Amino acid sequence: MTAKTTNLMLRNDTILGVCEAIGQDFGFNPNWLRVAFCIPMFWNPALVMGTYLGLGILVAAIRFAFPDKRADIGKAAPAATHLVEAKAMDVTGDREPELIAA
């Protein structure tokens, strides 16, 4: 089963999708990164927002320069499955099955 990937910047429940993107790329739960951004927000919100926006620009540039190959594989998988099924039907469809005695 293929996972459906959506553009993180177009989702309604994220702000630029920075924490989610970094969590996906490095393989950890993005909630830990969200907490790490929220705690220093009490002491220096301008620095935290600047860091967050800077990471947002960096993530957008990386996602633009190196698109997700898993999304392309997911789109091509149904066509490949159809070809495999057609090939299997072609092999067994024209001939009668052979009886093999042991």
**pLDDT at residue number 94:** 61
- Domain contains 2: no
- What is the structure's pLDDT at 1? 47
Can you tell me the distance from the alpha carbon of 101 to that of 32, in angstroms, rounded to the nearest whole number?
62
Tell me, yes or no, whether 25 lies in a domain: yes
Task: Return averaged pLDDT per consecutive 10 residues of the chain, 102 residues in all.
Answer: 56 75 88 91 93 92 82 56 53 64 68
Q: What is the pLDDT of residue 10?
A: 60
Distance of alpha carbon 20 from alpha carbon 8, whole angstroms: 8
Q: Is 3 domain-assigned?
A: no
pTM of the model: 0.56
Cβ burial, residue 18 (10 Å; 0-12/13-18/19+): buried
Rg (CA), the chain: 24
pLDDT at 20: 87
Query: Count of domains in the chain?
Result: 1
Residue 21 domain flag: yes
The whole domain housing 64 covers 8-93
* Distance, CA of 69 to CA of 55 (rounded, Å): 22
Q: Which residue has the tokens 């999708």?
A: 17
Assess if residue 102 is contained within a domain.
Answer: no
